[in-house]
Amino acid sequence: MLQEFKDFIMRGNALDLAIGVIIGAAFGKIVSSLVNDILMPPIGLLLGQVDFSDLFIDLSGQGFTSLAAAQEAGAPTINYGLFINNVIDFLIIALVIFIIVKQVNRLTKQEEEAPAEPTTKTCPYCATEIPIAATRCPHCTSELSAEAA
């Protein structure tokens, strides 16, 4: 049973999936930092010095001045600013994955488009397609020499 488990884990798909999940988690952190630390501050500045991560709706009606104060008091809030940040995170990750998949597909197509070895040849006497290894044409029964094909 231990050997079967080892074979399962070492199978290419399971190992590739594990590596993909780990790299994806690390990539997600980078994109989150990009959105929160690089993109959102200038966007907030352009929109009147708005900090998206601090946008919320106070459901308690107590009028908290910041999300941190509302959360500290345990007040129920709808954190739509954080939602906006997460949507932007998702869109950036989706765009990058789209670009990567598109490039991989483009490279894969180029590899597949390599010309295949011919499997047929044309009979020089009757112009019928015949297998490349044929020494006699099945249509006109002419004997084919190696030079004629």
Residues belonging to the chain: 149
Band of residue 78 on the pLDDT scale cut at 50, 70, 90 = very high
Instruction: Name the least confident of 9-13, 33-37, 105-109, 127-131.
Output: 9-13
Q: Over the chain, what is the mean pLDDT?
A: 82
pTM of the model: 0.53
Question: Running DSSP on this structure, what letter comes out for residue 65?
Answer: S
Distances (CA, A) of 116 to 109, 112, 121, 142: 14, 9, 14, 27
Band of residue 76 on the pLDDT scale cut at 50, 70, 90 = very high
Band of residue 149 on the pLDDT scale cut at 50, 70, 90 = very low
Band of residue 8 on the pLDDT scale cut at 50, 70, 90 = confident
Q: What was the pLDDT predicted at 77? A: 92
Distances (CA, A) of 5 to 10, 14, 15, 17, 74: 9, 11, 13, 16, 47
Domains in the chain (CATH in brackets) are: 2-114 (1.10.1200.120), 116-149 (no CATH)
The type of residue at 127 is A
Band of residue 5 on the pLDDT scale cut at 50, 70, 90 = confident
